[in-house]
A and B are shown apart, each in its own frame.
Chain A
Amino acid sequence: MTTGEVTGHRVAAAADLPPGGSRAYAVGDMQVAVFRLRSGELRATDAVCPHAGGPLADGQTDPTKVVCPLHSYAFSLADGSCHNGDYAVRTYTVREEAGEIVVECG
């Protein structure tokens, strides 16, 4: 996707996130949860669960979803839609670049 005014933010060293790891980072005034799947791929969503503010980076993941640790709402890592409730989170493009993790958001 081509984007304007959406810039890449280096949030951490790639080694910060081993496979299966997940962390939340502040990007400007936004909070983004970054996940490294077992496959090594990266995913990023809003850090805060829209239901009751749970920390999604503390949730459990599989290749398709993250499950909030507070009340088990599950969000698609692809589009942020919720599997079991009327909520949604935003997802962000995230990549590894020169040993660093780069999140694209405004």
Chain B
Amino acid sequence: MEKPDLVVVGNGMAGARAVEEILERGGGRQFRISMFGDEPYGNYNRIMLSHVLAGDDAVHKNDLAEIYLNPLDWYADNDIALYAGVRVVRIDRFARKVFADDGTILSYDKLIIATGSRTFFPPTDGMWLDDRTLTPGVFGFRTLDDATAMLDYAAERRTAVVVGGGLLGLEAAYGLQQHGHDVHVVQSGPTLMNQQLDDEAGGILRTVVERMGITVHTGKRTAALRAHDGSVSAVVFADGTALDCDMVVVTAGIRPNVGLGVISGLTVERAIVTDDQMRSVDDADIYAVGECAQHRGEVYGLVAPLWEQATVLANHLTGADPKAAYHGSRIATKLKVAGVDVAAMGVKGPQRPDDEWVRFAEPKRGIYKSVVIRDGRLIGAMLLGDTKQVAFLTQSFDRGLPLPEERVELLFELAGPGEEQGAAEMDESVQVCNCNGVSKGELVACVRAGTHTVGGVMTATRAGKGCGACKGLVRDIVEWAVTEDGGEVGEDESASWYVPSIPMDKPTLIAAVREQNLRSVSQVFAALAPDGEDAASKMPLTSLLRVVWNGEFVHENDAKFINDRVHANIQRDGTFSVVPQIKGGVTTAEQLRRIADVADKYAVPMIKITGGQRIDLLGVRKEDLPGVWADLDMPSGYAYGKSFRTVKSCVGTDFCRYGLGDSTDLAVKIEQQYQGLESPAKLKLAVAGCPRNCSEALVKDVGVVAVDDDRWDVLVGGAAGASVRRGDVLATVDGHDEVVRLAGVFMQYYRENARWLERTYDFVPRVGLSELKAILVDDRDGVVTGLEERMQDAVDAYHDPWQDGRDPRGPGQFADNLPLIPLPQVPVRRAADGSLQSSAAGKIGARP
């Protein structure tokens, strides 16, 4: 009896793999096999195309033996009739025949469609010469011909633009860059490889790619190609910009080749729809496999699912396992794109509120890892730069294995110890830090030698200073070892650093600044910061220089927060709020008149009585600030800085029937003395004339409450903002002068010792009330005189910053940096009549 005919349309990786699987199951004896491939080669490994392009040693374009999966001999050896370079154009399902473009007609009993997919060329002006011919210099990156044509063309060219920043695009870019081309990758979305990576990982990949010298453009939609002398010369973007180039590679996606299926009456959605046996849902004798097949709504573009489909197909077709069924693939990819290891599986990020999402990013080294866990099972993972954990993660993902309680263990190779093995049980010889070769024993020895902080041990042994993956384990071991020793783990050093870029706590830093006479933030960076300038450190360093040198330091505008550059508080729309000083909350008719005039003159959109008993003019444009100040002719109220702000008061003894002390007068005195003082965080004060506490002095950074005739409680560390804390009574003292002096001693101590942005409500409990009393009231350490002197220096250096308005510090101090499009998003409020109107009027600042 004659063998039934098996015809395979498509000689790519899917078709060939299916045939290999069939042969393996004895299909060679069952069927007479014919294969059509429209490329004139045996089948080759498409994944290797990027190596061909990159000119890797293993695969040279003139010697492509390495890239072929099956040489032509293979077809002959297995009695396969290969029709290479022949395209099947139609299937007659009723006659069971295929018709090819060279006139060949073959009968089939079983048919496999494995036509794969082709490059998708987005509709773009200038892309095509005619219906079938791309403009010279424009390439897809899909076939061996594409790769070799690109190489030939590129040899004479310099600048290439790759349209599409996915996997293939990056491979193409990398390949061309290896040949010394200027390569630009253009991605219409914000993220490279957005199919596999989330935005953060994409951002890190971008940095890595750019470090290789490839230029990346995101958010650029390609609108047209321009040609010169008949070949491509520029890519034009939707935003009107353009990029000159000699060649363009289009990698904006692929489309399944389904024309044959459509013509032949098979159900085609995105691809040919199949059942679980990979058969067309319309015809039990026609199978589809690979990128042209759609199974349960999914079309796969990677090899792993294709292998699985080919296996099921072969099992079913040969009868090796008639019940074989494909249930879809959980896609786990591990690949090297442009020299970077990338692995991705499952979902990219959490999809439900209770999904767990554990992430680690080390952008500098190009490393990003994340896992998504639902109901204790791994449903997604992403690894960039370091894929050592991929085997473990893939297993967990594929099999739904139980996961370690410490989710972070999913991300790192925790050298040696098993999941349940803690720091205590580990053998001393186990290597903890693989980067620097540090064992548990060495960590323990370091602790025994007296280092009781995690940071200290890490510095001493260099453990955790490489990739950082072992830090958690190092911490565990140090904590365990210290406790074993009966000690207590010290606070981490870096936690005590004043700024992240300089490894010193505040007193050490102050000493170094004084000793080395560092008078500008640039000098501090140059002298003390190992890695130089750091934006986040600038504002705290400026503050520190103010405290150390009072007026005597070099102002650097870029080292100040915008509020400190222009002495006003930036608002959400980029305008500013202006709060003149109103000491103790006591003002005059004349001041009020002036404020009203200024508000009129500058069309101030909102005038607001503040919580600090002052008047706030909101919505002032930056360039108007000098004029506003000059017309107000009042000093700054410092409502914008990390500084001494305001002293509220109650009515006190002059008018109040209950007053015990003259709170308004004392409040004015305190504010007069300490106005504008730089501090680690804002200082809000109040004075109350009796314990009824109308000025809320119990919840202020420094609160003063009259408890008897001119006898005052001085409270510190109170707050009534995001935190609410009643101040602690530092001392009870007699007379205004003593209140002013003690408040000054406390504030100077706070200035010199508090961390950046540490409010008194954190500082006081941290140091401890009894300690503060001992130092500041009892002068246990003999430092009070020094504090008083340094505070007096600071007071003497007071300078009203609004005088800057007359003499700007450098060009552009008050230049509007919100250019020029009508703005305000904040409505104008007019008093209490309920009327609300937009202040737009087309003139303030800008925002699109």
Contacts and interface: CB of A to CB of B under 8 A. Distances in A.
A105 B242 CA distance: 10
Given A4-B244, A6-B242, A70-B570, 18 more contacts: A1-B243, A5-B234, A5-B242, A20-B558, A21-B810, A24-B816, A33-B817, A38-B533, A48-B818, A52-B572, A59-B562, A60-B559, A61-B535, A63-B532, A70-B574, A90-B219, A106-B239, A106-B240
30 contacts: A4-B242, A5-B234, A16-B811, A17-B812, A20-B557, A21-B558, A21-B811, A22-B558, A24-B817, A24-B819, A25-B819, A26-B820, A33-B817, A48-B848, A53-B573, A55-B574, A55-B817, A56-B817, A60-B535, A60-B559, A60-B560, A60-B561, A61-B558, A62-B535, A65-B535, A69-B562, A69-B563, A79-B206, A79-B207, A88-B218
A90 B240 CA distance: 14
Interface string B541-566: 00000000000000011111111010
A43 B210 CA distance: 17
B245 interface: yes
Nearest to A18: B810
A59 B184 CA distance: 29
A100 interface: no
B783 interface: no
A47 B816 CA distance: 11
Contacts of B485: none
A20 B559 contact: yes
B184 A1 contact: yes
B558 A60 contact: yes
B241 interface: yes
B830 to A, nearest CB: 25
Contacts of A62: 532-535, 538
Contacts, number: 144
* Category for how many chain A residues contact B: 35 or more
Interface of A: 1-6, 15-26, 31, 33, 38, 47-48, 52-63, 65-67, 69-70, 74, 76, 78-79, 81-83, 86, 88, 90, 105-106
B754 interface: no
Given A24-B817, A81-B203, A67 B536 contact: yes
Given A18-B811, A21-B811, A1 B182 contact: yes
B843 interface: no
Interface string B494-538: 000000000000000000000000000010000000001111101
Nearest to B558: A20
A15 B811 CA distance: 8
Task: Name, among B234, B538, B815, the residue most crowded by chain A CB atoms within 10 Å (CB to CB).
Answer: B815
A88 B233 CA distance: 28
B215 A3 contact: no
A10 to B, nearest CB: 16
Nearest to A52: B572
A78 B207 CA distance: 9
A22 B820 contact: no
A23 B533 contact: no
Contacts of B719: none
A7 B819 CA distance: 20
B242 A106 contact: yes
Nearest to A29: B821
Nearest to B220: A90
B190 A105 contact: no
A82 to B, nearest CB: 7
Given A15-B811, A23-B815, A31-B846, A4 B226 contact: yes
B812 A21 contact: yes
A54 B574 contact: yes
Contact of A74 (B535, B565, B570, B815): B535
Given A4-B226, A60-B539, A69-B570, A106 B241 contact: yes
Contact of A6 (B241, B536, B559): B241
A2 B240 contact: no
Contacts of A48: 818, 846-848
A55 B184 CA distance: 29
Contacts of A74: 535
Contacts of A52: 572
Interface in B800-819: 810-812, 815-819
B428 interface: no
Task: Name, among A22, A59, A60, A105, the residue most crowded by chain B CB atoms within 10 Å (CB to CB).
Answer: A60
A23 B241 contact: no
A23 B818 CA distance: 9
B159 A2 contact: yes
Interface in B439-460: none
B203 A82 contact: yes
B345 to A, nearest CB: 22
A57 B574 CA distance: 11
A22 B557 CA distance: 9
Closest 6 CB pairs of A and B: A20-B558, A57-B817, A106-B241, A5-B242, A2-B244, A4-B242
Contacts of B240: 5, 106
A38 B574 contact: no
Contacts of A54: 574
Nearest to B536: A67
